[in-house]
Amino acid sequence: MAKKHTFNKVIIDTIHATGITHTQAAEMFGVSTRWIRELLHRYNTGGYQALEPQSRCPHTSPRAITDDIIDSAGKVSLRWAGESEKLYIGTRYAGMPIILVCLNNKITAVNPETTEILGRYLLEKGRSYHRNLLKDPHQPNPDKKKSLETSNRNDVSRLHRKAPSGT
């Protein structure tokens, strides 16, 4: 039996035997009242076995790699070299989970379901914006061009009328 488990068991046994309050038990054992409430909750749901130290990993998949989610603006935040960096993936991928593979200052954004590479980035100190190296900056976004072609707001020909001639 581990030392921490024994100490937690002593706390629970003392509270049940003497009927002292959470505050009194916290002062007596030198722990917080929040920890006392946590121990009592664990004991009430799982008995003495639940008082053993627990892993902080998720129970369903403790070794899983977490997916980052692309926000509605098409960007992902990344902590690199003590600074928060923003990688702009694209609004067409908004809400989609991705995996960021980091090797030094080279980042690759990958769709975990299809393994499609969404972007490659080279992080540089002092820059907060990092351009996708897979996109040609001189090529227009095909989604944007399509929306401009189908939009009626961009059709200004109906607003311009020719002045009558010959007057």
- Read off the pLDDT of residues 39-93 as tens digits, 9 standing for 90 and up: 999 899 888 888 887 766 655 665 665 556 666 767 777 766 666 677 777 777 7
* pLDDT above 80: residue 130: no
**So what's the pLDDT on residue 59?**
59
Res 32: pLDDT: 92
CB 123 within 8 A of CB 133: no
pLDDT at 111 over 80: yes
Q: Which of 15-29, 110-124, 148-162 has the lowest mean pLDDT?
A: 148-162
Confidence check: pLDDT of 20 > 60: yes
Q: What is the pLDDT of residues 143-165, one digit of tens each?
A: 544 444 444 444 444 444 555 55
Residue 167: per-residue pLDDT: 52
Query: Is 0.85 topped by the overall pTM?
Result: no
How high does pLDDT run on average in the chain?
A: 73
Spatial separation of the C-alpha atoms in residues 5 and 44, rounded to whole Å: 15
* Whether pLDDT at 95 is above 60: yes
Q: How far apart are CA 108 and CA 99, in angstroms?
A: 8
**How is residue 127 written in tokens?**
């820059």
Largest CA distance in the chain: 108
Instruction: Give the pLDDT of residue 13.
Output: 93
CA 151, CA 114: separation in Å to the nearest integer?
Answer: 32
